[in-house]
Structure 1
């Protein structure tokens, strides 16, 4: 029997793990972080919530040398490729259904040649007047759905679904 798998997808926390992000991630079976973490404590907190897949971002310096620049992995029957900056994505990717990246702080979701390209945006420190956002993916029986979540600008406000 297939169960629903919930995957929290975040990027560009830049040293800030908001309470409302943690609340959303609490309900997830896995967490993906697309880089620019900035502090080991963020990884430690995320690993307490759920199994974590994380890649190193351009702002993750010496402390993050143990974190890979790219990852290939599978959750359920879905193949993932994750990297911080999309300009470094290889031209050909086999057995990949979803590409996760960050860096721009801007939410992006588009299907190209049968592959979903997803940037969850930034859910850390607000930058560039862009919305604070993340995504939650639900995988069930080989299919998936993406929920874009825009967080309120106020630090103590509740979540808002887009």
Structure 2
């Protein structure tokens, strides 16, 4: 299973992201969608599932109805989405991913791509595909799920 992981569109859906969406089996959006049309366009671009959570900028309807966090199973892999990883790091969510059986934690918010393993859990921040912030790259990631094999492939977009 090939999952496109994006975050922090902030109302801007780049054509490069839509092109990637055509190759995805599923899309995960880690918050700060910005405009509901973003999710509509992603759903139209690919036949699979689009899952999204709300970020700190998603304060008005219908985006404020998105869940704050999401636990889902894709391809036999348990994935947890939240926008701001500091909530988890500060234990504000009363959750320990490795104890709960999660294999992947996906977050956004910082606009900075990051990939690391901790306690047997893959932590992925795809970066931001929305408006460029400071000198950070415009980035997303592929998550490849094949049985017990979980790999992440960072993608920097040339824009």
Q: Normalising by structure 1, what TM-score?
A: 0.88
Q: Does 1:60 align with 2:61?
A: no
- Residue 6 of structure 1, aligned match among 2, 17, 35: 2
- Residue 144 of structure 2, aligned match among 138, 144, 156: 138
Given that 1:34 and 1:100 are in contact with CA atoms closer than 8 Å, whether structure 2 keeps it comes out as yes
**Deviation (angstroms), 1:141:** 2.2
Given that 1:122 and 1:134 are in contact with CA atoms closer than 8 Å, whether structure 2 keeps it comes out as yes
Structure-1 residue corresponding to 2:108: 102
Any gaps of 5 or more consecutive residues in structure 2? none
- Residue 39 of structure 2, aligned match among 43, 49, 56: 43
User: What is the alpha-carbon root mean square deviation over aligned residues?
Assistant: 1.0
**Deviation (angstroms), 1:129:** 1.3
Given that 1:98 and 1:117 are in contact with CA atoms closer than 8 Å, whether structure 2 keeps it comes out as yes
**Deviation (angstroms), 1:142:** 2.4
**Deviation (angstroms), 1:111:** 0.3
Structure-1 residue corresponding to 2:156: 150
**Deviation (angstroms), 1:65:** 2.1
- SS at the partner of 1:21? helix
Q: Does 1:78 align with 2:86?
A: no
Any gaps of 5 or more consecutive residues in structure 1? 155-162
Given that 1:31 and 1:52 are in contact with CA atoms closer than 8 Å, whether structure 2 keeps it comes out as yes
Deviations, residues 74-103 of structure 1 (Å, cap 9, x unaligned) = 001110000000112244130200000000
Structure-2 residue corresponding to 1:160: none
Q: Normalising by structure 2, what TM-score?
A: 0.90
Q: Which runs of 4+ in 1 moved over 4 A?
A: none
